[in-house]
Amino acid sequence: MTANLHRFFKSPFLLLLQCAGLALLFLFFQAGNTLCAQTTVKGIVTDQTNQTPLIGANVVLQSNRTVGVVTDTDGNFTLSVEQPLPVTVEVSFIGYETATLTITRPELVRIGLAPSVVLGREVVVTGSRVSETILESPVSIQKMTLKEIKAAPSGDFYQSLGNLSGIDVITASQGMKVINMRGFNTTAPVRMVQFIDGMDNQAPGLNFPVGNLVGAPDIDLQSVELISGAASAMYGANAFQGVVSMTSRDPYTSPRLAVSIKGGNRKYADAQLRYAQTLGSSKKWAVKITGAYSRIDDWQADDPLANTYGDISTEQNLSYISRQLQYSDDPDVAETFTAINGWLDFNPKANPPKVVIQAPGYLETDLSDNKAESLKLAAGLYYKISDNLRASYLYKFGKGTAVYQGSNRYSVNNIAFQQHKAELAGKRLLLKAYVTQENAGDSYDMVFTGINISRASIADNFIPTYLETYFNTLDELTNGFDQSVQDWEIDTARHRAFTAANATWYQPGTPQFDSLFNKITADPDLNTGSRFQDKSWLAHAEAQYNFNLSFAEVIAGAFTRRYDPQSFGTIFSDTLIAETGQYRDLSLWEYGAFLQASKKLLKDKLKLIASVRADKNQNYDLQWSPRLSAIFTQGNHNFRVSAQSAFRSPTLQNQYIFLDLGAIVLEGNLSGQSNAYTYQSVKDFEANYQNTFDIDPSLLQAVTLKPVRPEQVKTLEIGYRGIYSNAFYIDATAYYSIYTDFIGDYRFYKPNGSAQAGQESGVDAILTGAYTLMQTPVNSSETVNSYGATLGAAYYFGKGLTATANYTYAAIDTSEVKDPLIAGFNTPAHKVNLGLQGTDVWKNLGFALNTKWTDTVYWESPFGNGHLTAYWLLDAQLSYRLPKYHSVIRIGGSNLLNQSIQQAYGSPVIGTTFYAGYSFELDKLGR
């Protein structure tokens, strides 16, 4: 009974139950406030220039944007609010300026919207956790709107985020595209965080998001906001170089049925569905259901140098093997080799030689089905307790197949995520709790798959075939082992044997290969298999309140989070405890709080914002993340300066990994290492002994490794945003960042058993080979400085036509960087984007195109190093609206110039994708 209770209170659902109880408590407190009189406002929304009704425009209460409706097929709306007149509403529609109107009388109102003129006035919340325009934001923030999501030139909004200034999207595979910002690009983005509707989208076992593989379907996306740069002051650990925040469409303000289908080359197919509806006459209840499925033939990583796996080399003493075979359990084999070994005793020069076996290895295309696939499902239930308070429950499920690139290339096969979120959101109050559960499914390491197929081929085929051919040839040439053997006969036998053995490697596509492949990819022991198991989860709860005090606007919040790594000893050190039959518990807690205060001065022209956050991980010291910003606004011109710090916690793998790979052991560094010799000193000691037979202990250098600790960055940033002539928008940013405590992998030798480094027993262990090669994460002692700038501009020509351009510069000061622990910068020094978008430019015809130029890069990573060439990328889309049928037809393509584009060393070369799609949205069923 006690054990069961213990497991329950460790359950990830406990936080959800607590949040649900808190929500019910608020329901009781607020019940009396829901009986106030309602005010009903009716109106029509039209295009200001031609008076055409706008179908599906959003009309929301300005004081509480959770209260709202959409216009019908005639542009009409009816909005009921629980407050007396006057009321102020905001009216918005894709491609139009947002209008604000105060309604003082209960009569029909006509609201005309002007076509959207320029960027900079979009409302964002990610920068300061409060609503503000981009122009007013104290950070480097950009936004992709609903209109831009739909019109993404590449056909993939996530990929098109790379068209924004300072944003790099790295394609490790078609299904695994990851976002990087501010340098140190990687295929495992541990230095940024990604939120979807306020939920951290990271894989709990990896501690970073797997792109949008199991993320948000674009049919339900309202917007994507991106902060470039340090953001730990508001978002905590790992908001080290940036934040991506996706917001889905509100079921109250966007109740409608939407369907989207798309197809293209490479067997591309995509189907999405969204249904959202308010319920009952009071419209207090709402539901939303979404589903999305896509598949496509993946790009193939087929570089023979980078993507050949299992091309191992090994030396085998075949004479020793021959002697051991006379003790085989098979009586026929034992009898045969007893006789052969007896003959060899009289002809010792005919003993089989030591041979160096070089396996040819296998290309990645032989070890993967080269398919990217994704399934995303979600269901939400919402209840308006009052106009100012809403409760909701959201369930999300995602499953996908792609290729992830880390230290190796992995087939992330049928990886699955589940998320549960309970939330209570008001005008000032936010309470939420969510759980993320991960299941690695049938995922496996393609490098170890190749290695273990080669190992099996050596043992099963190469060695037996060599020995059989060798002795059969000698049998033939010596007249049945009846004559003394000659040197030429031995040479002939060896040549024939090696030729025959080298033709026995398991071949892809054969039943033998497929059977062995299935066996290895189902085996989690990396000495014989390649599967990785991971059923880790995290649970998170947080509270936030906005105080509107007389002297300042203040936001305060607190959170707690629990990680529970579960790899069953296959990745982490959560190994089986024989005495209990249970796995070692590695769960850990984080908690913290933040406070932000802002004050307007000089007749609201100057705004000062101070933020501070404290985060405590049970394994590390308290981390402080302050930020100070000043924003000066003069008309349509905004100048900002900020200083901030951020940190990145070591990942669960940095802390707890334990992988015995045979030749090397990977171990987390939570507690440090004291029994160690440096890698190079052991190599020097062994070389000296082999050359001189002199034992020189002074060559061995004992080393003590401190426990791994969080990375740190401090950033100074200045920026300017401005609007000229109500048509030209400019956004400029420059920054300087100082990084310390970079985490990298360190290799060393550890004496086995009780032997101690620095003592005589340690020297004896190295001398006799009684040691283990280890790899563990440590912090660099060097400071690294990086700096950069971005310049973005947009110009509105009128009639729905907008041109955009941006330039990004990024650099690292390498003059003092000598530590190999420092991560590769992997970021192009120069990048340019040019775009042109047209909305209804002629008879419902629209278009969007973007061309990008990216500079050369030298890529450094645990997987491999190499040069990436500069490239031009051209994406384009044409769209045609069918208003009568509530539909849009789109055709387009990505990389239309068919450039050979590689964005990380070892990743595939990207070609051209063409697509065509049809989407349908109906605001009211039956209309």
User: pLDDT tens-digit profile of 643-656?
Assistant: 999 999 999 999 99
Q: How confident is the model at residue 5 (pLDDT cuts 50, 70, 90)?
A: very low
Average pLDDT over residues 896-917: 96
pLDDT at 63: 79
Token pair recorded at residue 817: 């960087």
Token pair recorded at residue 850: 């973007």
Helix (H), strand (E) at residue 464 = helix 463-477
pLDDT at 380: 97
Average pLDDT over residues 833-857: 94
Lowest mean pLDDT among 42-51, 430-439, 622-631: 42-51
Q: pLDDT at residue 16 above 50?
A: no
Digit-coded pLDDT (tens) for 187-212: 999 999 999 999 999 999 989 998 89
Q: How far is CA 128 from CA 123, 124, 227, 310, 795, in A?
A: 12, 9, 10, 50, 27
Lowest mean pLDDT among 45-54, 244-253, 279-288, 727-736: 45-54
Q: How confident is the model at residue 25 (pLDDT cuts 50, 70, 90)?
A: very low
Token pair recorded at residue 662: 């045979």
Give the chain's radius of gyration (CA, Å). 32
pLDDT at 4: 44
Token pair recorded at residue 369: 């089905």
Give how far the C-alpha of residue 390 lies from the chain's centroid of Cα atoms, to the nearest Å. Answer: 31
Tell me which residue of 699, 647, 650, 701 sits closest to 672, measured CA to CA: 650
Average pLDDT over residues 75-84: 84
Report, in this order, helix, strand and coil percent for the chain, each rounded to 5.
20, 45, 35
Percentage of the chain exceeding pLDDT 70: 93
Q: How confident is the model at residue 263 (pLDDT cuts 50, 70, 90)?
A: very high
Domain boundaries in the chain?
2-113, 313-358+447-504
Q: pLDDT at residue 577 above 50?
A: yes
Token pair recorded at residue 474: 């000698």
Architecture of domain 2-113: Sandwich (2.60)
Helix (H), strand (E) at residue 280 = none
Q: pLDDT at residue 314 above 60?
A: yes
Digit-coded pLDDT (tens) for 122-165: 666 666 666 677 777 888 889 998 889 999 999 999 999 999 99
Query: Of the spans 88-92, 661-665, 752-756, which averages the highest pLDDT?
Result: 752-756
Digit-coded pLDDT (tens) for 315-340: 999 999 999 999 999 999 999 999 99
Residue with tokens 């298999």: 529
Percentage of the chain exceeding pLDDT 90: 72
Q: Is the sign of the CA dihedral 591, 226, 260, 93 positive or negative?
A: positive
pLDDT at 118: 55
Tell me which residue of 487, 455, 467 sits closest to 355, measured CA to CA: 467
Digit-coded pLDDT (tens) for 472-502: 999 999 999 888 899 999 999 999 999 999 9
Q: How far is CA 695 from CA 526, 689, 770, in A?
A: 36, 6, 16
Q: Are 618 and 585 in contact (CB under 8 A)?
A: no
Residue 398, C-beta contacts closer than 8 angstroms, at least 6 positions apart = 213, 214, 215, 374, 375, 376, 377, 416, 417
Lowest mean pLDDT among 363-367, 582-586, 752-756, 782-786: 582-586
Residue with tokens 């052969």: 340
